[in-house]
Amino acid sequence: MNILVLGGGGREHAICWAVKKSSKCKSLFCIPGNAGISEIANCKNLDLNKKNELIRFCKEEKIDLVIIGPEQFLEEGLSDYIRSKGIRVFGPSKKASMLETSKAFAKRFLTKNKIKTAKYREFKTFDSALEYLSTTKYPIVIKADGLAAGKGVIICKTKNEAISGLNIIMKKKKFGSAGKKVIIEEYLSGFEVSYFAFFDKNSFTKLGYALDHKRAFNNDKGPNTGGMGCFSPTKKMTKDIENQIEKKILIPTSIGLKKDNLIYRGILFFGLMITPKGPYVIEYNVRFGDPECQTLLRNLQTDILKIIDYNLKDKLSDITIRNKKQSVVCVVVASKGYPGNYRKNKILKNISKAQSIKGVVVFHAGTSLEKNKIISSGGRVLSVTAQANSIINARKIAYKAIALIDWKEGFFREDIGQKNI
Ligand code: AMP
Ligand code: GLY
C-alpha cells in the first residue's frame, strides 16, 4: 500500500515509524513531516488548505490510505472530503469529530448515554455564566467550548479566579470563537489516564493507556502544555478499573455512537479521571494523543495497517490487538520558553548517539533540516522514548539518552514516570 500521513509532530513520526514496519507498506509520504520523519518517509510541503492539490497529489502517487494526525484537519472536515474523492482515510468525520471539537456536544453525548462525567452547566452568555458563579461551590472548572490546543481549561479555586477566567474566555476572547460558549463543571480529583481504543460502525478494540504530564515543569508546576511526557503501564490501573472502563465507558460510547448515527472510524482517546467513585470521562479526543501515541506505538505488536484495514471495513470485532508487555517512558524535550515564546532555528546534535542506546527511539516534532543540519522549529522538539522491563529502568534509559543530546536551548521534565514508583 502507498500511505500518506498528515501532520508533522512527534505523534506523526511515531505513526510513520509504525507504518514503516508493516510489510503492507510499499511507499510512505508525509505532509508536512519533519527532519526525523524525512529519514523514513518522503516529506512534501503541500498547502493543505488547497484541498484539490492534496487530491491531485494522492492520485499522482496512487495513495491507498491517508492517515490524519491532528484534530484541526478533522474539525475542517478533511476526512469527509478525502473520502468523498474515493480515497480511504483513517480519521473520523467532521460530525463525529464534534466529540472533541465541541465540549458542549461531548457533554450532551455523555449525559444522554449515562456515562459518568463531571456535573456541568452550559452557558452562551457572559452574564448568565457570571450569575451562576455566585451560586456554585468551589473549586470549579471553566472550559471554552471549542478547540484551544489543550489550553482552554481553567481550574478555579475561588469565585474571583472564576470571574477572571470567565473574562479571559468570553470577554478577552483569548481562545477566539472557541470561547463563544463555556462549560462550567464540577472539579474531579483522582488520577488521570489517557485511554485509547479503535472504534468502527459496530464495535471497538482496545489499544491501551498512558499517563500524560501536562504541566511544563517538574512536580506539575507551570502552565499547561500539549504534554511533556508519558509512561505506561502503571500499577494504579487495576483489572477492576479496566473492567469498569470497558463496561461503563467504552461499551456505552459504542452504543451511543450507533444510536446517533455518528459513524466513527478511527482512534478514540478518552481523557479519564479515575476517582474514588470510579472512572469519569473528562473529555473525548478524536485522534491519537501526543506524546501518548509515541509511548503506545512502541509496544504495539500487531501490524498497524492491519488494524486500520479492519477498522475501515467495520470489522474490529474480528481483531485483538497485541502489545509487548514492556514499560515505556517518553520524555518530551522542548524549546526553552514553551508553551510561551521560544527561539527557533537552533542546531541539535548527537540525536543518533541517543538513539544508539538499546531500547531508545527518538521521535522528532518541531525539527527541520537546514544544510543537512537538524534545527529546532517548534515548541515541542523531540520525544525521547525508552522501552524496558520496568518503568524505573525505562526512566533511566530515557534520561541517559537525553543527556547525550547536545542542544542548549532545550528543556525537559525530570520527573516523568516518577510518581509510579
Ligand atoms: P481537557 O482539555 O478537558 O482535557 O482539560 C485539560 C486538563 O484540565 C485535564 O487534563 C485535567 O487535568 C484538567 N481538568 C479538566 N476537567 C477537569 C475536571 N472536571 N476536574 C479536574 N480537572 C479537570
Ligand atoms: N497529550 C494530550 C493530547 O494529545 O491531547
Distance of CA 420 to the CA centre of its chain: 21
| Topology, domain 2-92 | Rossmann fold (3.40.50)
Q: What phi and psi, each to the nearest 5 degrees, are found at residue 143?
A: -130, 135
What's the CA gap between 79 and 73, in Å, rounded? Answer: 8
Helix, strand, or coil (residue 62): coil
User: What ligand is nearest to the CA atom of residue 280?
Assistant: 1
Ligand 2: centre distance to CA 77 (Å): 20
What's the CA gap between 129 and 14, in Å, rounded? Answer: 41
Place domain 191-318 in its CATH homologous superfamily: ATP-grasp fold, B domain (3.30.470.20)
User: What ligand is nearest to the CA atom of residue 71?
Assistant: 2
Instruction: Identify whether the C-beta of residue 219 lies closer than 8 Å to the C-beta of residue 302.
Output: no
The CATH number of the structural domain formed by 327-411 is: 3.90.600.10
The amino acid that residue 38 corresponds to is S
Classify domain 125-180 at the CATH class level. Answer: alpha beta
**Torsion angle, CA of 293/299/301/302, rounded to 10 degrees?**
-30
| DSSP β-bridge partners for residue 90 | 67
What H or E segment, with its residue span, contains residue 280? strand 278-285
**Region of residue 118 (phi > 0: left; psi between -120 and 50: alpha; otherwise: beta):** beta
Q: Whose CA is nearest to atom 5 of ligand 2?
A: 289
CA atoms within 13 A on the CB side of 346: 15
**Torsion angle, CA of 250/251/253/257, rounded to 10 degrees?**
140
The pLDDT of residue 421 is: 53
> pTM to 2 decimals?
0.96
Instruction: Identify whether the C-beta of residue 282 lies closer than 8 Å to the C-beta of residue 214.
Output: no
Ligand 2, atom nearest to 290 Cα: 4
The pLDDT of residue 178 is: 86
- Residue recorded with cell 457572559: 126
What's the CA gap between 5 and 293, in Å, rounded? Answer: 14
- Please, which residues have CB within 8 angstroms of residue 293's CB and are 6 or more apart in sequence? 10, 11, 14, 15
Which residue in 249, 262, 263 sits closest to 206, CA to CA?
249
- Site to substitute for ligand 1 among 141, 157, 195, 277, most atoms within 8 A of C-beta: 141
**Torsion angle, CA of 398/296/178/115, rounded to 10 degrees?**
-130
The pLDDT of residue 410 is: 97
Is the CB–ligand 1 distance for residue 400 below 6 Å? no
- Residue recorded with cell 472557541: 178
Sequential pLDDT tens for the chain (421 residues):
999 999 999 999 999 999 999 999 999 999 999 999 999 999 999 999 899 999 999 999 999 999 999 999 999 999 999 999 999 999 999 999 999 999 999 999 999 999 999 999 999 999 999 999 999 999 999 999 998 877 788 999 999 999 999 999 999 999 888 889 999 999 999 999 999 999 999 999 999 999 999 999 999 999 889 999 999 999 999 999 999 999 999 999 999 999 999 989 999 999 999 999 999 999 999 999 999 999 999 999 999 999 999 999 999 999 999 999 999 999 999 999 999 999 999 999 999 999 999 999 999 999 999 999 999 999 999 999 999 999 999 999 999 999 999 999 999 999 999 987 5
Domain ranges of the chain: 2-92, 125-180, 191-318, 327-411
What's the CA gap between 106 and 99, in Å, rounded? Answer: 5
